[in-house]
Chains A and B, each alone.
Chain A
Amino acid sequence: MIFGAILAGGVGTRMNISDMPKQFLMLGNKPIIIHTIEKFLLCTRFDKIYIGVHTDWLMYMNDLIEKYNLDKAKLVCVHGGVDRSGTIFNIIKQIKKEYGGNDDDIVVTHDAVRPFVTSRIIEENIDAALKFGACDTVIKSTDTIVMSKDEKTITEIPNRRFMYQGQTPQSFKISLLFDLYNDLNNEEKSVLTDACKICVVRHFPVHLVLGEVANIKITTVTDYKIAMAMVGGTKFD
């Protein structure tokens, strides 16, 4: 089976626009998260779409689903975890509870604050996860990446040719992700900022899916302004 997992666990303290988590801010006529969920609903290959939401906002999320008349039969809200991996694993636990474990089941995880994801990216994630077991959505890095370990001076400048910027979706065979995660020790788990890293640290190959520059993550006030300008304007290629 194919599952979607929309991650909205954060409380969004970086925004300062309001007290509201950023995924609930309006973009055009609807909240950002509703645009993201609708994109997933328009992919007919998903059997179910799970939304991981911070406990304080679960009721609010359910109200939004009602208000915007989304297809409730396809959506399930789940308590978010303490961090990103926690939210993903709460969703995986819920999937296992509802559908049991199946070796071929895959999950397409996606940030709620990336409403510009395209159907091509979602479809290619599904195909890659089914075929390879794990994939990440990336774009070629246009900026030079500079590494600094002491936050004062440059430690290293990696060759830009090999640098990519990670986006989402990130998609996995559920059984694979579950087994690899449980194999990690607490120290390894504590430094996980990215689900793909679970595979990388255990040397499981993660395939690349080409993302889009427009598939931005709305994290800061500037991102939010850019997103609003995008919906109102045009981008030249």
Chain B
Amino acid sequence: MINCTYQLVYPRTFSVKYSEVDIEKDIIVRPKYMSICHADQRYYLGKRNASVLKKKLPMALIHESCGEVIYDKTGKFKVGQNVVMIPNIPEKVRPGEYENYSLGAKFLSSGYDGFMREFVALPYDRLVPFEDIPLQIATICEFISVGVHAINRFDFCSHRYRDNIAVWGDGSLSYVISCLLKIIFKEAKIIVIGKNKTKLSYFSFVNETYLADELPADLKIDHAFECVGSYGSFYAVDDIIKYISPQGTVILMGVSEDKVAINTRDVLEKGLMLIGCSRSGKAEFESAIKFLKNSVFQRRLMAIISEAKPVKSIIDIHEAFADDAKNMFKTVFKWDI
């Protein structure tokens, strides 16, 4: 079968790549919904370094997507089964290691074609089946799984005093982390620190919200999640180090193009643990699906999901990215191309 792959060749320019796909080898999925990640938007707008763009493009964007199994010679899936696709293709994973950090792992939409394709052929173990979850929500499963992964690592590594957990950032990642923390650590006080009052107002379910420049002097936190990234990383990390109690754990999740200076003197003095987290593995996708079945969680996520018009052409792809640039949180769209 000849497959169409919609590649970004350079910022704001797509091209169609036609390539042969062997339908006997893997399971064939027709993507149904897609969601735009900040990383996709940065490629689309050309906000990555020129050398990175030169190295990675042309490449199909999008690593958050759900679809329908339409052909499976192995018989492991029923035709019509809804699945979430895992963009992480691990290589050698040693026992006890996370697959998303394994050496040689590939990530579809970072150096390899993402899901903007007519059909996606993936091995059985890169698909997670689901039922009873609206496709608009299931499509952000990868995003949720990244949050699940970070919280699992936090739970595994941090000390047990979790009265006050703070989340820096007022974007989609911060929202998802806060939602998950609220479900998983029911007794903890969840505090969100951001820069945008309107965005912070969406966090109605957390205990406290603060503007970053109005933090109370007596603020005490046990642990922190940094979900800021970009130019704000430095200020967020600096504030975290200032306000966190000794021996706290800092989960770093925001991506920055530039190197970020860290006040290591206080990190040492307070005995802090800084843990970098990115991406996720299959186990976390499966956990994310379980969380997504929770109707309260679903309703909370609906508050941050905007649906762009269905994508039937390359012009529609441009419109979806333009919509996303205007949206405060997540943009999803039906893939009808």
Q: Which residues of A contact B (CB under 8 A)?
A: 27-30, 35, 38-39, 41-44, 69, 115-116, 118-120, 214, 230-231, 234-237
Contacts and interface: CB of A to CB of B under 8 A. Distances in A.
A36 to B, nearest CB: 9
23 contacts: A27-B2, A28-B20, A29-B20, A35-B1, A38-B1, A39-B1, A42-B30, A42-B70, A43-B70, A44-B68, A44-B79, A115-B2, A116-B2, A120-B118, A120-B336, A214-B16, A214-B18, A231-B19, A234-B7, A234-B15, A234-B16, A234-B58, A237-B13
B195 to A, nearest CB: 38
Contacts of A115: 2
A236 B6 CA distance: 10
A42 B15 contact: no
Interface of B: 1-2, 4, 7, 9, 13-20, 23-24, 28, 30, 58, 68, 70-71, 79-80, 118-119, 312, 314, 336-337
Nearest to B80: A44
A159 B18 CA distance: 33
Contacts of A28: 2, 20
Nearest to A28: B20
A4 to B, nearest CB: 14
A118 B118 contact: yes
B18 A116 contact: yes
B71 A41 contact: yes
A120 B71 CA distance: 17
A237 B314 contact: yes
Nearest to B337: A120
Contacts of B30: 42, 119
A237 B337 CA distance: 14
Contacts of A230: 18
Contacts of B79: 44
Nearest to B314: A237
A83 to B, nearest CB: 28
A28 B18 CA distance: 11
Nearest to B311: A120
A235 B6 CA distance: 10
Contact of B13 (A119, A120, A236): A236
A35 B9 contact: no
A214 B5 CA distance: 13
B20 A42 contact: no
A236 B2 contact: no
Contacts of B119: 42, 119
A237 B16 CA distance: 8
Nearest to B68: A44
B2 A39 contact: yes
B1 A237 contact: no
A44 B17 CA distance: 24
Please list the 5 inter-chain residue pairs (A to B) with the smallest Cβ-Cβ separation, ordered nearest first.
A38-B1, A28-B20, A230-B18, A234-B15, A236-B15
Contact of B20 (A119, A214, A231, A237): A231
A234 B4 CA distance: 10
A231 B20 CA distance: 7
Nearest to A237: B314
Contacts of A236: 9, 13, 15
Contact of A118 (B23, B24, B58, B337): B337
A69 B73 CA distance: 10
Given A69-B24, A118-B4, A237 B14 contact: yes
B16 A30 contact: no
Contact of A234 (B1, B9, B28, B314): B9
A222 B156 CA distance: 63
A44 B9 CA distance: 32
A42 B71 contact: yes
Contacts of B68: 44
Contacts of A119: 30, 118-119
A234 B59 CA distance: 12
A44 B68 CA distance: 10
B117 to A, nearest CB: 11
A44 B70 contact: yes
A42 B13 contact: no
A235 B19 CA distance: 12
A235 to B, nearest CB: 5
Nearest to A236: B15
Contacts of A38: 1, 23
Contacts of A237: 13-16, 314
A43 B20 CA distance: 17
**Most chain B beta-carbon contacts within 10 A, residue among A30, A120, A230:** A120
A118 B3 CA distance: 8
A12 B248 CA distance: 75
Given A41-B71, A42-B119, A44-B80, A35 B2 contact: yes
Given A35-B2, A42-B28, 19 more contacts: A27-B2, A28-B2, A28-B20, A35-B20, A39-B1, A39-B2, A42-B1, A44-B79, A118-B118, A119-B118, A214-B16, A230-B18, A231-B18, A234-B9, A234-B17, A235-B15, A235-B17, A237-B14, A237-B16
